[in-house]
Amino acid sequence: MSDEIRLAVAGLGTVGAGVVDLLDRNGGPIAARAGRRLSVAAVCARDRAKDRGVDLAGADWHDDPVAMAGAGGHDIFVELIGGAGGPAKAAVEAALAAGKHVVTANKALIAEHGAALAAQADAAGVALAFEAGVAGGIPIVKAMREGLAGNRIGRVVGILNGTCNYILTDMRHSGRRFEEVLTEAQDLGYAEADPRFDVDGIDAAHKLAILTSLAFGVAVDFAGVSIAGIRKVTPVDIAFAEELDYRIKLLGIGALTDSGIEQCVEPCMVRRDSPLGAVDGVYNAVTVQADAAEDTTYEGRGAGAGPTASAVVADIVDIARGRVLPAFGIPAGALEPLQRADVEARRGAFYVRLIVRDRPGVMADIAAALRDERVSLENVFQRGRAPDDAVPVVLTTHEGGEAALKRALVRIGGLETVLEEPCLIRIEDS
Active site residues: 207
What length is written for the chain? 430
List all residues 6 or more positions away from 269 whose beta carbon is below 8 Å from its beta carbon. 241, 244, 246, 247, 248, 351, 425, 426, 427, 428
Q: Are 248 and 268 in contact (CB under 8 A)?
A: yes
What is the Cα gyration radius of the chain? 24
Q: Are 94 and 124 in contact (CB under 8 A)?
A: no
Q: Amino acid identity of 293?
A: A
Return the half-sphere exposure (C-beta side, CA atoms, 13 A cut-off) of residue 355. 12
Q: Among 156, 29, 61, 122, which residue's Cα sits nearest to residue 324? A: 122
**For residue 68, what are the CA distances in angstroms to 95, 277, 322, 417?**
8, 45, 23, 63
